Amino acid sequence: MKDQWSWLCTENIQKAIRLLFGTFIERWLEVGAAHLTSAHCWVIYLQVLQEAVWPGGMLPAQPQPERSAAEREETKEQCLHCLMQLLPEFIAEMLGYEKYKMSLETMLGSLQDHQINKHLIFCICDLLLEFLIPESCDEALQRSLLQSLTKDTERDSVQL
């Protein structure tokens, strides 16, 4: 019975927080999202990506050595710590510290799957393409591009 009341109290507290701070949290998220998608941040993201792919402006001559299990575990812990710092501490306490941590660990665990990561990258690229080139969503343009690609392929195969 005690667990039932605990759940009820937690749900009521969450509702009260949403009522009291809902617009504040919503605004905080909007401002944060606007900042993270600002031109200045995009420049930083692209510079970090460029440095990750081409360190020092050149492709690496050999692949980086495989990281040890301890290094991977340390990286997971650092990532979990950073994610836990995203929300203010009092919100994490209201939601329940253990549940909050377990949810983030589950999320990080799902990012260890190669297929999920691949799908995530494709979705992000799709969203970026849609954001950078809005007309790419136009079906007429897509059909036109597909037809021109098939014509080029047919022409190249005839020349061989």
What is the per-residue pLDDT for 16?
80
Please list, in sequence order, all residues whose beta carbon lies within 8 angstroms of the beta carbon of residue 96, skipping any fewer than 6 positions away. Answer: 10
Please list, in sequence order, all residues whose beta carbon lies within 8 angstroms of the beta carbon of residue 154, skipping any fewer than 6 positions away. Answer: none
Mean pLDDT estimate for the chain: 83
Comparing CA positions, the residue from 95, 96, 97 lying closest to residue 80 is 97
**DSSP string over 52-73:** HHSGGGS--SSPPPPPPHHHHH
pTM: 0.49
